[in-house]
Structure 1
Amino acid sequence: MHVIEGKWKVLILWEIRDLPRRFGELRRALPGISEKVLAQQLRELETDGIVHREVHETVPPKVEYTLTEEGRELDAALEPLGAWGRRRMAPPGAAAVA
């Protein structure tokens, strides 16, 4: 549970589940997160083997974040929780959101 603890880690995982994302893209996709917290959360996810950080040798340097194999496994494990949350967000009597 420590791997996904906190307000932002699961949201970060959702943002990088399908495509590599750059730091600035993540910052824009997660309104309310500070750069300091985003950097810290990404470092922790990288340390835990969930996120891979790739630095491209360009000017300026380009850094992309992707899920590792363990990160994809964690994403699959979190999918039922996401489905549950989507059902809970649907108005009463409305069809569940896929």
Structure 2
Amino acid sequence: MRYAAAAEYLGMAKGTLANSISARTGPRSVKMGRSRMFRQEDLDDFIEEKLIETERLEKRRAKRRGRAVMVITCANPDLFLISTLMIAGAVLLLFSFLHTQ
């Protein structure tokens, strides 16, 4: 298929596809005379590579940008529940105190 059909198949602008080909980051293609041709299998492979690359980047970002997590462990689950409820009550009391002033 030609540029226009390949670009439509990939969901990108024709110019974007041309730029990626010239930067050697686009899908495989064959130059036939003045035209550049694309096989559907090569376009499918290109899409698959981009999906894998995107998933890899998302995993890296998730690791880097993860928020700190506080882990609280307690040997006695009842004590943990009571402590959690007391802390929640104290936070609510503080919030209501600050809200009334």
TM-score by length of 2: 0.30
Bigger radius of gyration among the two: 2
TM-score by length of 1: 0.31
Q: Which has the higher helix share?
A: 2
